[in-house]
Amino acid sequence: MDPVIKLNNVSVSYLQNRKGVHSIKDFVLKASFISPFKKHRVLHNIDLEINKGDSVGILGPNGSGKSTLMRTIAGIIKPDEGFLKVGVRVSPLLALGAGIELELSGYENMRIALALSGNYNKTTRKEMIQKVTDFAELTNEQLMMPAKMYSTGMLARLAFSSVMTCQPELLMIDEVLAVGDKGFQIKCMNRIHEIIKNGATLLFISHSPNEVKEICTRGICLKEGKKIYDGSSDRAANVYTKLF
C-alpha cells in the first residue's frame, strides 16, 4: 500500500532577522542593503512515511520542530529541500484558539470554524451545529455569549468540538487536550479513537507520553529538528522521557 504521507529528505527553514532588524530604521542603519534575513533551519533532512490509518504521536522538547513538521505536512509551510507528498485531504490544524474571534459569540465562532474547515453547507448546517453543541456540552446561553467571556476550558471545548465532530481523512492535533476538564478529555479520547477506527490517519503532538501511548500505535521523537526515533509509541515515549 502506498503511504498517504511521504517525506523524503525534507528540510525546512525560517527566515530569521539578521542583527535584530525589526524596523526600516534598523534596516538602513545596521544591515546596509544586503538581505536583512538569514535562513534558520528548523527541520533537518526528515524522512517519513505514514500509511493510511496510522496513528502517529510526535514527541519532542519545546522548539524541536514538532509544529513545523505538522505545518509542513499540512502544506502551510513549503520545504526548501526534499520531496513531500500528501495524498489525503487535510483538516485545519487544531491548535488552541486558532481562529476563535473573542468578540463573536460561540455560535458565530462555530459557524466560522465549520466553514473554514470546509464542512459547512446549507443542507447540513443545522445538523452540524447541533452536533458541535452536543459535543461541546455548552448551554445555549453560554453559546450566545461572546467568546471573550469564556474560560480557557470553555474555549478549548468550543475550538475542539468544531473539528472533532467532522470525520477528517487526516486529523492533526497540536497539544490541546490538556486544557479541558477530565470529563471532556475522556470524551475527546473516545472520539479520537472513533475517528481512527473510521479510517482516518492521525498526527498527534503532545508533551504527555502517556497520552501518546494511549492513542497512538506509532511514535516519533524529534530533537533539534532531527528525527531521533521512529517506531512504536511505547518506545518513543521512553526515548522522549530519557531526553530530560
Partner 1 sequence: MQGKRRYIILFLIYKNLQLKYKHSVLGFLWSLLHPFMYLLIFLAIFSAAFSTTENYPLYVLSGLVFWIYFAGATGQLCNVFIKNTHLIKSLNLPKIIYPLTELGSELVSFLLGLIPFMVLMCFLGMHITFNLLYIIPVILLFSIFLFSVGLILGSLNVFFRDVGILWNTISPALFYLSPIAYAFKLVPERYKFIVKYNPLYHFLELVRNVLWQNQPPDMHYVGRCLLITSVTAILAFLIYSKTRNGFISNL
- Which residues of the chain form contacts with partner 1 (CB under 8 A)? 14-17, 22-25, 27, 37, 40, 71, 74-78, 90, 92-95, 97-101, 103-104, 108, 111-112, 115-116, 118, 120-121
Nearer CB in complex with partner 1: 85/243: 85
C-alpha distances out from residue 122 to 19, 111, 114, 125, 159, Å? 52, 11, 12, 5, 21
CB of 40 to partner 1, least distance (A): 8
Torsion of CA 42, 44, 47, 52, to 10 degrees: 0
Q: To the nearest 5 percent, what fractions of the chain are helix, strand and coil?
A: 40, 25, 35
CB of 160 to partner 1, least distance (A): 13
Tell me whether residue 152 or residue 241 sits nearer to partner 1 (CB atom). 152
Phi (first) and psi of residue 158, to 5 degrees: -60, -50
Residue nearer to partner 1 on the CB measure, 93 or 221: 93
User: Residue for cell digits 475517528?
Assistant: 195
Q: Which is nearer to partner 1, 23 or 210 (CB)?
A: 23
C-alpha cell at 211: 497520552
| Beta carbon of residue 233, minimum distance to partner 1 (angstroms, whole number) | 25
Write the CB contacts of 76 (distance below 8 Å, at least 6 apart in sequence): 93
Which of these, 207, 126, 109, 215, lies nearest to 163 by C-alpha position? 109
Q: How far is the CB of 67 from partner 1 (least distance, A)?
A: 9
Kindly tell me which of 75 and 87 has the beta carbon lying closer to partner 1.
75
User: Which residues have a Cβ under 8 Å from the Cβ of 187 and sit 6 or more positions away?
Assistant: 135
What is the nearest approach in angstroms of partner 1 to the Cβ of residue 237? 26
Q: How far is the CB of 229 from partner 1 (least distance, A)?
A: 27
CB nearer partner 1, residue 41 or residue 223? 41
